[in-house]
Structure 1
Amino acid sequence: MAVTEATRTHTAGTTEPSCVSAGRAAQELTLKRGEFDLAVHLGLICAEPVTGMGRPRVRQQEIDRLRALPGFPGRLKDQVRTTGTAEGAKLLGVSPVRFTGLARIGCVSPIAFCLNRYRAVVWLYLVDELLAFAAKEPDLIGGRSPAGMRTLLEAGTDHRARNWRSRRTDRLLNRAEDPWTRAALQASALDPVQLAEVVEDPYERAYLARVRPDAAFGRPGSASGREAMERLMLADDPDEILWRRVNLTQELEQAREFRPAPRPGCDPAFRPVPARPVHSRPTPARAVRGRAAPGRRRDGRPGARAGTGRGLLGRIGLRGVGGRGR
């Protein structure tokens, strides 16, 4: 059912476009709850900024715009269609072992995850990205595993969690303008010990925890599920840890110049900078002062991109052929 009232009037006589709840918006767009959350995260749906743990609200005019697009609702659902390892392997025509290997070295990167009944992480991949990768890199789909790929896997390489964290953080940074929120996003990847080394002031650490956006996709119903998600958020590679520490230091400098963190006895009220709409265009990665962190990509982020092309093959030496197919 569409919302008929386009605007609502305030007591002061001003008007603003009407908004509907996330559940109502998902219903009108024929999306499931997880599909709606992913569409907002990807910027396919422009949602109103929210604070705390609340779900986003969507303007009725945005819903009308999406419903008027060619191919609705099929195209929108295809854009947020995800798959796990088994189905992804079938989609590419490879074994689950080969698919997992491609994901571990960063040829394809997960966009989300869920926890199974055993609280184990199940990575989810965008179907559109898998199909694009298969069309761009047919040599990695069929035949024997290249020597470079086998070397990386034998060394225990696994960039799935790292790439997921990087993608999530980058998207949130693209629409976060408040300096303390930006610093909190960088801090979310560091464990308490690492965070205390970078942010020595306990009031600043408490404030970063207060303004940090929602941790991740999924809403686990048990303490063990929440703990599993919290562990997944933390950087576990030395290069990634160093990169997040450097970025956090930079963001903190700007946040402190903008306003100090609240302290006991001070007025905690502040006027935060509104977040950018979810569909806003990404901004270039900020340059790091001084020496770049090890493992840094040319665009300033650690890890490999999803669906990377010939550049990936050249960097990790997958041109060579050796060993049996994985």
Structure 2
Amino acid sequence: MTGHTITQEVADTAAQTTVTQSRAARELGLKRGEFELAVMLGRIRTVSDTVGGRRRVTREEIERVRAAEGFPEAWVERIRAVGTTEGAALMDISTARFTRLTRAGFVTPVKFYLNRYRAVVWLYLAEELTQFAEAKVNAGLLTGRAPSTIRAQLEAGVDLRARNWRGRHAGALLRQSDDPWERAAAVASLLDPVQIAEIIKDPYERAYVRRLVPEPFGQGAPESPAVRIIQKITTAGDPDEIRWLRANLTISLSQARGHRPAPRPGPKPGPGPGPVDSAPEPASGPQAELDARPSPHPAPDREATRTGRPAALPEEEPREQAPEPRGLLKWLRRRGT
């Protein structure tokens, strides 16, 4: 059995033990959004066959989820995401108070999307909202007047929803990253290109990290209003957050470089060594006898070939030319012709 056949059999076996995420969602009976949220929360584990490749789901993981208690109804309920109105109803508070709590950072969003008016719609995990409302320590936040510190922050325009979502999103990306360079790319995905260029000086490392960065949320022209809104949400803007991400990216890069260097193009092939002049070995046999015979056609003279003038024949000597007449005698001869 050849090595190629063995490699092909190993690849076929690996393909049979894992499936794509879309197929795993169909086999589990989950909607696309439910499956993606479950992966983000770590409820469904994924694996990667190659660095930077699309992650897949093992057959064992599918069976584990199926065997979970309460699957699918109770299991799906634990990953249900709700908006502001439904979230406020779960916590038995007004939508205005719910919005103030989320802006102050007491509740962290798990997802967001833009509606048709390009307004940001934040989604929250229903299970977390219920737990927050049931905790006795939070009773003062659900009724009565909010503490003065929170009121001062909200009056100053503080809104921690995007920052808290980025922190949660970064944790999800790091959980799904098995390779040190992928982990560095996960942190870099939350920084703007200027910050990345300041930290990653090497252009080949920067290009490699950019290639491993997860797919962006917004699809469309880079300067479209929707893409700009999404970029503002997914890119760190707070100075403290930027410092924290820069420090983490520096540490991640150090670990990645110690693991293996970033790929670089190979050296360009230079000109090969010139021909070496050496005397040819004497031929032997019938061909040697033919080569030893005098050729009926002598080789052309090299000087004649270079200057373009015909060479003198071997049996002839160059004829001596008479000097041309000069002056008046030369003119008379022209008139006589």
**Same-fold call, TM > 0.5?**
yes
SS at match of 2:236: coil
Q: Pick closer, same or farther for the CA change 1:247–1:153 going to 2, 3 Å.
A: same
Inter-partner Cα distance in structure 2 for 1:139 and 1:12: 60
Is the 2:91–2:129 Cα contact (8 Å) retained in structure 1?
yes
Letter in 2 for 1:186: V
Q: Are 2:128 and 1:129 aligned?
A: yes
Inter-partner Cα distance in structure 2 for 1:150 and 1:71: 41
- Which residue number corresponds to residue 324 of structure 1? none
The structure with the largest helix share of the pair is 2
Deviations 1:92-131 (A, max 9, x none): 1222221111011111000111111122221110000000
Deviations 1:262-291 (A, max 9, x none): 233369xxxxxxxxxxxxxxxxxxxxxxxx
Letter in 1 for 2:155: E
Letter in 1 for 2:43: L
5+ residue gaps, structure 2, are 1-6, 269-337
Deviations 1:70-105 (A, max 9, x none): 211112211110011122112212222211110111
Query: What are the residue-to-residue correspondences of 1:46-125 with 2, within 5 Å?
Result: 46-49=45-48, 56-125=55-124
CA RMSD of superposed structures (Å):
2.6
Query: What are the residue-to-residue correspondences of 1:198-209 with 2, within 5 Å?
Result: 198-209=199-210
SS at match of 1:24: helix
Deviations 1:136-168 (A, max 9, x none): 112211222222211111122111111111111
Query: What are the residue-to-residue correspondences of 1:311-326 with 2, within 5 Å?
Result: none
Q: Pick closer, same or farther for the CA change 1:168–1:140 going to 2, 3 Å.
A: same
Shift of the alpha carbon at 1:13?
10
Inter-partner Cα distance in structure 1 for 2:62 and 2:97: 40
Query: Identity percentage over the alignment?
Result: 52
Q: Pick closer, same or farther for the CA change 1:48–1:83 going to 2, 3 Å.
A: same
Shift of the alpha carbon at 1:201?
2.2
Is the 2:48–2:54 Cα contact (8 Å) retained in structure 1?
no
Is the 1:161–1:232 Cα contact (8 Å) retained in structure 2?
yes
Query: What are the residue-to-residue correspondences of 1:210-221 with 2, within 5 Å?
Result: 210-216=211-217, 220=219
Q: Are 2:229 and 1:231 aligned?
A: no
Shift of the alpha carbon at 1:230?
2.7
Letter in 1 for 2:128: E
Inter-partner Cα distance in structure 1 for 2:92 and 2:199: 46
Q: Pick closer, same or farther for the CA change 1:87–1:195 going to 2, 3 Å.
A: same
Query: What are the residue-to-residue correspondences of 1:105-184 with 2, within 5 Å?
Result: 105-136=104-135, 137-184=138-185
- Which residue number corresponds to residue 3 of structure 1? none
Inter-partner Cα distance in structure 1 for 2:236 and 2:38: 25
Inter-partner Cα distance in structure 2 for 1:262 and 1:55: 20
Inter-partner Cα distance in structure 1 for 2:52 and 2:115: 23
- Which residue number corresponds to residue 37 of structure 1? 36
Inter-partner Cα distance in structure 1 for 2:41 and 2:10: 36
Q: Which has the higher contact order (CA 8 A, sep 6+)?
A: 1
TM-score, normalised with respect to structure 1: 0.71
Inter-partner Cα distance in structure 1 for 2:32 and 2:8: 31
Q: Are 2:256 and 1:258 aligned?
A: no
Inter-partner Cα distance in structure 2 for 1:234 and 1:103: 19
Inter-partner Cα distance in structure 2 for 1:243 and 1:234: 13
SS at match of 2:39: helix
Q: Pick closer, same or farther for the CA change 1:52–1:160 going to 2, 3 Å.
A: farther
Is the 1:52–1:214 Cα contact (8 Å) retained in structure 2?
no
Is the 2:181–2:209 Cα contact (8 Å) retained in structure 1?
yes
Larger radius of gyration: 2
SS at match of 2:9: coil
Is the 1:183–1:255 Cα contact (8 Å) retained in structure 2?
yes
SS at match of 1:11: helix
TM-score, normalised with respect to structure 2: 0.69
SS at match of 1:125: strand
Q: Pick closer, same or farther for the CA change 1:120–1:55 going to 2, 3 Å.
A: farther
Letter in 2 for 1:206: A
SS at match of 1:124: strand
- Which residue number corresponds to residue 189 of structure 1? 190
Q: Pick closer, same or farther for the CA change 1:248–1:134 going to 2, 3 Å.
A: same
Which segment is superposed worse, 60-69 or 246-255?
A: 60-69
SS at match of 2:208: helix
- Which residue number corresponds to residue 244 of structure 2? 243
- Which residue number corresponds to residue 11 of structure 1? 9
